[in-house]
Amino acid sequence: MSPTDTIFSIFEESLAAYSFPDKFTFPFDYEPHPLSLLAVEKLQSHLENQDEWDHNFGLKPDQEGAVIGKMFGVLVVRTEEDEIGYLSAFSGKLAGGNHHSKFVPPIFDGMADGGFLNTGMEKLSQISQQIKELEDQESGTQEEVETLKTIRKAHSVSLQQEIFEQYNFLNQDGEEKSLCEIFENASYKNPPAGAGECAAPKLLQYAFLQNMQPIAMAEFWWGLSPKSDFWKHGHFYPACREKCEPILGHMLAGIEMDEKPV
């Protein structure tokens, strides 16, 4: 692994005292493996001490901006060079962005300059503005307003479908499946919004792209949650079933996992 790589973090200390798991973490119900705990300790230290970006987790008094706690994940891996280390990921965006040093990239970057998503969102905003002007000024007929609303809805559905088509997920055999294909096989009418943005799929995708072997994984919540008492700072959580279960079913195919608890 290149020494300039800022995504893979090698364990510098001796791992002689650690036993390696025989099977990969069952992502929906687990006790973090000691190697995962070591990776989490290092990532949390980074979150506490980094000064590259500013995000209000609600942990510092008087910090500006809305409080947004965040799910983070670590994936302990073995590289092709037989190095042991870990990858880090955050769910969704962090500090308003998709790309930060030490973290794996998104599977699809909807914020890329010149991308279809920005153009599509601008068009939606323009249509909404037209509707607002017609309604405020009462200069248009109800028929005109309804026509614009129909156009807006069709454009929104088309844009969402185009977004879904950008997400393709790998497994250890290099088999790729699209988001729509995965959820169709799981008997969903459509993939849920935000599917593919969680930490676990992002971690596994990067590992498979780099021919890394997954060893263990853990996810934890960092910060306060103004919307739900369920999320507790520093606590570990399973992967979400609604968005991640169908995706991880494909991505972890052929990988022996810990027994699913009864």
Report the predicted TM-score, pTM, of the whole model to 2 decimal places. Answer: 0.86
Q: Are residue 249 and residue 176 in the same domain, yes or no?
A: yes
| Cβ pair 106, 197 in contact under 8 A | yes
DSSP tag of 222: E
Q: What is residue 261's predicted lDDT score, i.e. its pLDDT?
A: 59
The two three-digit tokens of residue 197, written as one number: 């943005």
Q: What is residue 2's predicted lDDT score, i.e. its pLDDT?
A: 43
Backbone angles phi, psi at 221, to 5 degrees: -95, 135
Q: Are residue 96 and residue 134 in the same domain, yes or no?
A: no
Q: List pLDDT tens digits, range 47-85.
A: 999 999 999 999 998 888 899 999 999 999 999 999 999
Closest of 195, 179, 235, 247 to residue 91, by C-alpha: 195
| Cβ pair 210, 79 in contact under 8 A | yes
For all residues of the chain together, what is the average pLDDT?
91
> 70 in a domain, yes or no?
no
Q: Are residue 27 and residue 148 in the same domain, yes or no?
A: no
Q: Are residue 81 and residue 182 in the same domain, yes or no?
A: yes
> 190 in a domain, yes or no?
yes
> 51 in a domain, yes or no?
no
CA pair distance 166, 109, nearest whole angstrom: 9
**Which strand ranges, in their side-by-side order, compose the sheet holding 9-10?**
9-10, 84-90, 70-78, 213-222
> 246 in a domain, yes or no?
yes
Q: Are residue 92 and residue 23 in the same domain, yes or no?
A: yes
Q: How many domains does the chain have?
A: 2
Share of the chain above pLDDT 90, in %: 69
Q: List pLDDT tens digits, range 194-212.
A: 899 999 999 999 999 999 9
Q: Are residue 180 and residue 121 in the same domain, yes or no?
A: no
Q: Are residue 155 and residue 242 in the same domain, yes or no?
A: no
Q: Are residue 130 and residue 227 in the same domain, yes or no?
A: no
> 55 in a domain, yes or no?
no
How far does CA 187 lie from the centroid of its chain? 22
Q: What is residue 109's predicted lDDT score, i.e. its pLDDT?
A: 85
pLDDT: which is higher, 124 or 118:
124
Q: Angle between the 142-164 and 116-137 helix axes, to the nearest 10 degrees?
A: 160
> 138 in a domain, yes or no?
yes
Q: Are residue 27 and residue 137 in the same domain, yes or no?
A: no
Q: Are residue 247 and residue 179 in the same domain, yes or no?
A: yes
> 59 in a domain, yes or no?
no
In this prediction, residues 167-171 reach a mean pLDDT of: 95
Q: Are residue 177 and residue 97 in the same domain, yes or no?
A: yes
Question: What is the separation, in whole angstroms, between the first and last Cα of the chain?
Answer: 40
Q: Are residue 135 and residue 214 in the same domain, yes or no?
A: no
Half-sphere exposure of 119 (CA within 13 A, CB side): 7
> 12 in a domain, yes or no?
no
The two three-digit tokens of residue 58, written as one number: 């609600």
Q: Does residue 3 have a pLDDT over 50?
A: no
CA pair distance 94, 34, nearest whole angstrom: 27
Residue 185's domain comprises: 19-36+76-106+169-196+210-254+258-262
How far does CA 51 lie from the centroid of its chain? 22
